[in-house]
Amino acid sequence: MIWFEDIEVGRETYFGSYEVTREEVIDFARKYDPQPFHLSDEAAAKTHFKRLAASGWHTCAMTMAVIARHVVKEEQAGLGSPGIDELRWLKPVYPGDTLHVRGKVVETRPSRSRPDIGSFRTQTTVSNQDDVPVMTFQSIVLMRRRPADAASA
């Protein structure tokens, strides 16, 4: 189990990758962001995207899927997140892209009001297969502190 005390400023993590499919881009857009450039090649060709592009919210969802799978596999004592800051969509994400998700811890803070938890802030960068950043954000993660009876890592 990874506890709050195991998280250090500067820690870098490669969370994994995600292959973007045309079917998923269109399906997500139909359900959650039905703008024409997320639904059709013809409509997208008339925009700055030039071709079908994933919704930024879809990029967020794909990123969360990668992070969540990693966190479960790593067995973190996580308690979720109160939110994200500074979300930026830097470049379009297209069907056929492979997204790579990386994070770097930039701050840790024990809770003043809850001695059993702490929080840390991570700068997350999502890049495509050409190592071009397509999205960045900062997330705040809540994590349980190591109980006195738990073994050290």
Mean per-residue pLDDT, 76-80: 88
At residue 113, what are phi and psi to the nearest 5 degrees? -95, -20
pLDDT grade for 148, boundaries at 50, 70 and 90: confident
Average pLDDT, the chain: 94
pLDDT at 78 over 60: yes
Q: Please tell me the predicted confidence (pLDDT) of residue 152.
A: 57
pTM score of the predicted model = 0.90
pLDDT grade for 151, boundaries at 50, 70 and 90: low
Q: Please tell me the predicted confidence (pLDDT) of residue 75.
A: 85
Q: Please tell me the predicted confidence (pLDDT) of residue 103.
A: 98
Domain 4-144 has CATH 3.30.70.100: no
Handedness of CA 30, 33, 35, 38 (dihedral sign): negative
pLDDT tens string 122-133: 999 999 999 999
**What whole-number percentage of the chain has pLDDT above 70?**
97
CA-based radius of gyration for the chain: 18
60-to-8, 49, 91, 99, 144 alpha-carbon distances in Å: 25, 18, 13, 11, 25
Q: Please tell me the predicted confidence (pLDDT) of residue 136.
A: 99
Q: Please tell me the predicted confidence (pLDDT) of residue 76.
A: 85
pLDDT at 153 over 70: no
Q: Please tell me the predicted confidence (pLDDT) of residue 11.
A: 95
